Structures are given as structure tokens and as C-alpha cells.
Structure 1
């Protein structure tokens, strides 16, 4: 539910008080205001000025809070955005370090493969040379056994005896000795090579073991680098998520502020129109007051002339001419309940509150009555319908002019109606249906928002109801 008042209307109320206090409606005559009346009106105007200033300060404070929240959010967003390049650089450095360590690990792995291949090749060569050495040892052993048994000498002697010539004898003897020496030398060479290969194998084994250690360390560094890169990536993602969240927060605050400013401008425009309409009404009332004053003077002049004529003719003076009836009423309760619900149920009273739609504190310039959708809404008193049409945030509004009560201009409005039962310019009586409850305009549910205007300014309706 909403309170259809704004700052611009309240600023004009103080200025309207003096004019409204001196105005009349219909054919009534308003007695001149006393000094006490004017003082009361002045105090009332000052009170409205203070209320208006308080409302203005309250709204400005709300806007200031929104601006402060927006500035804080933008500062936090800027701080987050300032950290993102560093996070990106840290991630890039982590990725570069990971790539470097991965390359080193790959090179060490290649060295390990080469070392393992060389070690395997030498092991194979050692095995081959060992087999050859074993064969030579077997042959030499056989030669040694043959020599021990005399077979070697017999064989040599046979070779000598079988020679046909001395030269052939010498040649065969040398061949036999050479063969023995060659086998013996081959065995020595194999044993020496075998020793060299075993030394190489031992060194390669040591190198391979060292490479295995280096590879394990390199792999561990790669794992650490991957963890560092993952941490840097997580930090970057976290900052980006914070940035996105803060951007959404900034956008939400900006949207809220834009909505508040737009609604404020809309209500101000509506209020200017309302003030213009009220001023037009006041102008008509002032014109009517002047007409009645002229009529009163004319009647008094006619009575004076008639009295003079009667005196000249020695006749009794004519009775006083009755003045036109006045619309100024008095009594304890000039208005009745605007809702047929018995008893009436009030859902929100007149006064300052947090607006349920706009979201900031402002004056709730009327009383809200429970009225389910389609409930008949009745006029609180006799009067003239000044207008009955859609008025922005007020929704469908009926404004009724009740004339004057105890020298004060009195009007009522019925807001958020779903439909009308009267039209502009129509005269209505107390209790007559003027429309049906709804939720048009700035409203959250079907209800009646009822306002009372005294001398152009809203007052607590409860002070004017039974």
C-alpha cells in the first residue's frame, strides 16, 4: 500500500494555507479571519514546512545512503579489478614454471632412457664377451690337458714328422706355436675388455641411479608446479567470480537508484499536477467568494435604499434580506467512514513509514482501510466530485470537495480504485458509492487509501472521522 504524497506538494501546502483559509465554496459567505485564526494558520504552515523539510532531508539521506553504497561497491569492484592483472601474471608465471620443469623432466627422462639403453647394451656385450672367453678358456684348457697327457707334443711331433721338407717342418711348427699364442692373447684381451666393460657398467649403473633420483625430483617439482598453477588458476577464477558478483551488486544498486529517482520524478510530476488542480479549485472558490461578497453588498445596498425610501415615505423599513446560505458547516464529525465494512479495519495509519514499494521512508499521507477487491467505496460526506480518473501512482482516484467546515476547506480523495461509480462535476451525498476497491497505481494489494485535505494539505483522517 502506498502514500500518495511527495515533496513538491508539501512545499506548496504552506503557501496554499493562507489562500484556502480565505476562500469559500458554492454560495457560502466566510467571515473575516481573526488574528488568532491567522496565527493558527501561520503555525500550521510552519509545521508543514518543518514536516516538508524533514521529508526532504529523509529522502536526501536515503539517496545519500544509496550513493554511499554505490561508491563503496564501485571501490570494492575497482580493488578486485586491480588484483586481477596480478593474478593473471601469477598464473602465467606458474604456467611458465610448470612448462620449464616439464621440459627439464622430459630431458631427464630422455637421459634416463639413453643410460638404460647403454647399460643394457654393455650388459649384452659383457655377456657375449663372457661367452667367447668361456669358449677360449675351454679350448685353452683342452690344449693344456692335451699337453699334460702328451697329446700336444705328439701332435706337434706328428706335424714335424709329416713334413716333407725342412722348410715345411719349420712352418708347421711355427703355426702350432702361433695358434697357441693367439689363443692365449685372445683370452687376455677378452679378460681385459671384460674388465673394462664391467667398469663401464658400474659407472652407468651409478649414473642411471643418479638420473632416477633426478627424475624423481623433477617429477616432484612438476607436481608442485601443477599445484601452484592450479592454485593460481583458482585465485584468478575466485577474483573473476568476485568481480562478476560485485558488478552485479553495482548494477543492482544503480538500478535501485535509477528506480528511486524515476519514481521520485514521477511522483513529483503527479504532485505538480495535483497542486495545479487544487490551485484551480482554490481560484474558483476565491472567485465565488468575491461573487458572494458582491452579492452581499448589493443586497445591503438595496436594503439601505429601501429603508431610506421608507423613511421618506414615513413607512416601516422592509425586513432584512436573507443572505445566501453558507456551505460552512460545523459539528463534531463532518465526515463518516468511507468503507461500508463494519467495523472498519485499518491496515496502515497516517504518518512516516518505510514505503513497501519504493523502499525508502516517506510520509504516508492517508489511512489505509482493508477493502477486498471490488468492495464498494462510499463518499465520506456531501460534496462535488472534482475529478475521477487515473492519476499515476494514486491509481484511479476520486477527489471530492466538501466545501468548508469551521472556516476550513475540506476535501477527501479515494485512491487505487478498480473502477468509478461517479464522474467529474457530479454532486454526491454522504454514503453514496463513488467506486470500487482495487490495486491500481503504486500499490501491492486491493485496499482503500483515503486522504483528507484541510486547506490544501493532508491531515490525519482519523481526526475527522467518527
Structure 2
């Protein structure tokens, strides 16, 4: 893996400084290897991190959150629409089945009613037949008496036998007529029950069809609501994408402005460092920048949340230097001057929020300045002389920040270096 151009410059600066301080070539090579190892370690940490605290503006964070929410909701809405459409399709299939069942039940009812009408006509005809038969018999007298009289009047055995047969025919005809009437009435009762059952079946199927129609209307309303939700979320996602694009463009413009400001600050600090070194060259303390100098006080009581090093920006995807160390601690935690010095700049940055720059003069053979970012406020201003450990402000979350923290930068001869070895 090749080092970025900025890393090459840092390496060259470190080697030149080490040689100026009398460090051996072996130590220089070792420092170079350590730098490469440290860079690789930082790269691994960056790839595993979700985002830095100061990766983007609040506008872009809000726009991105809105876009993510719209995307997630759209997935859910599409699932709900597919489910609603499935329910409607099943309901439509069942509706067709129920309509067929209702039609069959109505046809069976028509058939049963026709059979009942015919049965009623047959029974009525049988009643008339019985009535006529009985009337004809009894108009001539009691059939039993007539038959008995004919038996008495018989003059021979042969005639007696014949007349007894006639009697049986007469009485049998009457009995058959009544049997046929009884059978017709029983059949009529069966047909009446069949019609009643068929009517009940039709009524039940009509009620079921009506209930199912209500269910289908509800499901179709749910499907339409799901369609409307999908359309609405598609529009919301489009608007959110446009909002995120505009916020990203605004951030990019601010970032370019910030880089231009940073360049000016670097040039100013280079000049101040050169002057400080010229004044104090004879008294400069000779110490290796590769080991802990112990020259700076930690500026805040807090743990490191993001180290110094090169990384890919998680939003804009450029490869650059995270030019300081982020310390947690909590909103309002006092910020202390890391070393004596003079405040040379205090201003608002869209990226870093409230910034404060202190020129700490010459240390370890280099001109040092310390920069404090994202503070809620500072209680010192340009031109003020500060002492080591003096409270100069309070931790905040201004600029591009997702939570209260201090982004602390150490500038050596106008270039950002890892602050950790200086503590």
C-alpha cells in the first residue's frame, strides 16, 4: 500500500527533524516503519467505524436520516401492498366460489319449488279422486251392506263366490284410493321440507355473500391505502434524496472554505513558528519527536473517541487526515490550556464550530500551536496570554458534530501532528 502524498510529507518532515536533532539513520528508519504501522492500524480502525463525530453538518445528518427512514418505510409499505393484494386476490377467488354456490342454491330452490307445486297439484287431484270414488260408492249405499246383501241373494255356491269377489274389488278400490292419497300427502310434506331447506340455504349463502362483500370492500380499501402509502413514500424518498443532495453540496462548499481557511492558518503558524525558533534557537530543548515529550497537558478530562490519522471520509469519501484527537467528556466539561501561550485567533467555522488557536512558542525544537474546536464557548480572546492548565472554555457540540467533544489539534511548524506523543 502506498502512502498518501500528505503522509510522505509528514514522513519527510519527521526524518528531517530527527536528523537535525542528531537521531541515527536506524532510528529514522524505525520511526518510518512505526509510522507505516500506525497508519495501517488507523486505516483498520476507520474501516470498522460507522462515522466520525465531525463527519458532516447537522443538515446533512438530518437529510440522511430522513432518506434512510423513507427507504425503510418504503420497503415496509411495498410489503404491506403485496400482502394486501394477495388478500384481495384470495377474497376475489372466494367471492367467485360463493357466487357459484349461491347460484346453485337458487337453482335448487327453483327446482324444489316447482316440485312442490306439482306435488300440491297431484295431492289435490288425488283428493278429488278419492272424494269422487267414495261419493259414487255411498250414493248407492254402504259398500259393505251392498256386498252383504248380494251374498244373501246368491242362489248358488258359484254365484256366492262371484259376488264375494265383487265385494273385494269394491272395497279394495276404496282402500287403494286412500293409500294413494296418503302417499301423495307424505311426498308433499317431503317436498315442503325440501323447499324450506333450500330457502334456508339460499338465505345463508346470500348473507355469507353479503358479509364477504363487506370484507372485500375492506380489503380493497386496505389495498388502496397501501398503494397511496407507496406513492407517498416514493415522493418522500425523491424529496429526501434531493434534500440530501443539496445538503451535501452545501457541506462540500463549506468544506472547501474550511480547507482554504486551514491553509491560511497553517501559513500563519509557520511564520510564527519560524520567528519563535529564531528567538529561542540557542535555548531550544533537544528532544526526539518520536517519543513522548510530556510538554503538553491534556486539555480535557476525557477518553479518546477518535484518534489522529489518515482515513476515508465516511460521507464524502476523500482520503485525508483527521488532523487531531477527539476527546469525549461531556457537554460543559472545562477545556484547559495545554501549555502557556498567546491566543492568536478565535472565530466561527461551519465545520469546527467555535475555534481557538494558541501560539505556544518553541518546544522540542519546533514551533508549536494548539487548536481547540467545537467548544460551546471560550472565556479568552485574541491577544490574551494564557497559562498551562488555565480554563479557556467549555466542551460543546458546535459545527459538524453529533455530540459534545473536543477536537484537539497540535501544529508543529504549521503542520498537524499526532498530539498523543506530546502528553
The TM-score with structure 1 as length reference comes to: 0.50
Q: Check if 1:134 corresponds to 2:134.
A: no
Residue among 277, 282, 293 paired with 2:264: 277
- 1:433–1:366 distance in 2 versus 1, CA, 3 Å: same
The 2-side partners of 1:97 and 1:38 are apart by: 86
- 1:50–1:259 distance in 2 versus 1, CA, 3 Å: farther
Q: What is the aligned partner in structure 2 of residue 438 from structure 1?
A: 396
- 1:37–1:137 distance in 2 versus 1, CA, 3 Å: same
- 1:451–1:279 distance in 2 versus 1, CA, 3 Å: closer
Residue among 297, 322, 346 paired with 1:388: 346
3-state secondary structure, aligned to 1:141: helix
Work out whether residues 383 and 427 of structure 1, in 8 Å CA contact, stay in contact via their aligned partners in 2: yes
Q: What is the aligned partner in structure 2 of residue 110 from structure 1?
A: 106
CA deviations over 1:262-311 (Å, ceiling 9, x no partner): 79858954762464034312552487499x6xxxxxxxxxxxxxxxxxxx
RMSD of aligned residue pairs (Cα, Å): 6.2
Per-residue deviation at 1:442? 4.0
3-state secondary structure, aligned to 2:396: coil
Q: Check if 1:101 corresponds to 2:97.
A: yes
- 1:121-270 superposed matches below 5 A: 121-145=117-141, 198=184, 265=252, 269=256
Per-residue deviation at 1:119? 2.9
- 1:386-465 superposed matches below 5 A: 386-443=344-401, 446=404, 448-456=406-414, 458-459=416-417, 461-465=419-423
Q: What is the aligned partner in structure 2 of residue 306 from structure 1?
A: none
Work out whether residues 18 and 41 of structure 1, in 8 Å CA contact, stay in contact via their aligned partners in 2: no
Per-residue deviation at 1:406? 2.3
Q: What is the aligned partner in structure 1 of residue 296 from structure 2?
A: 335
The 1-side partners of 2:295 and 2:19 are apart by: 22
The 1-side partners of 2:253 and 2:85 are apart by: 46
Query: 137-146 vs 38-47, which deviates more?
Result: 38-47
Q: What is the aligned partner in structure 2 of residue 365 from structure 1?
A: 324
Per-residue deviation at 1:88? 4.9
Q: What is the aligned partner in structure 2 of residue 25 from structure 1?
A: none
The 2-side partners of 1:61 and 1:348 are apart by: 16
- 1:49-60 superposed matches below 5 A: none
Q: What is the aligned partner in structure 1 of residue 6 from structure 2?
A: 12
Per-residue deviation at 1:327? 8.3
Work out whether residues 126 and 198 of structure 1, in 8 Å CA contact, stay in contact via their aligned partners in 2: yes
3-state secondary structure, aligned to 1:410: strand
3-state secondary structure, aligned to 2:380: coil
3-state secondary structure, aligned to 1:346: coil
Q: What are structure 1's unaligned runs of at least 5 residues?
A: 1-9, 23-29, 64-69, 150-183, 293-323, 340-344
The TM-score with structure 2 as length reference comes to: 0.54
The 2-side partners of 1:411 and 1:272 are apart by: 18
Work out whether residues 371 and 448 of structure 1, in 8 Å CA contact, stay in contact via their aligned partners in 2: no
- 1:146–1:61 distance in 2 versus 1, CA, 3 Å: closer
Work out whether residues 346 and 368 of structure 1, in 8 Å CA contact, stay in contact via their aligned partners in 2: yes
Per-residue deviation at 1:16? 5.8
The 2-side partners of 1:86 and 1:369 are apart by: 47
Q: What is the aligned partner in structure 2 of residue 316 from structure 1?
A: none
3-state secondary structure, aligned to 1:137: helix
The 2-side partners of 1:277 and 1:364 are apart by: 15
3-state secondary structure, aligned to 1:434: strand
The 1-side partners of 2:393 and 2:413 are apart by: 25
Q: What are structure 2's unaligned runs of at least 5 residues?
A: 51-66, 147-169, 288-292
Work out whether residues 280 and 362 of structure 2, in 8 Å CA contact, stay in contact via their aligned partners in 1: no
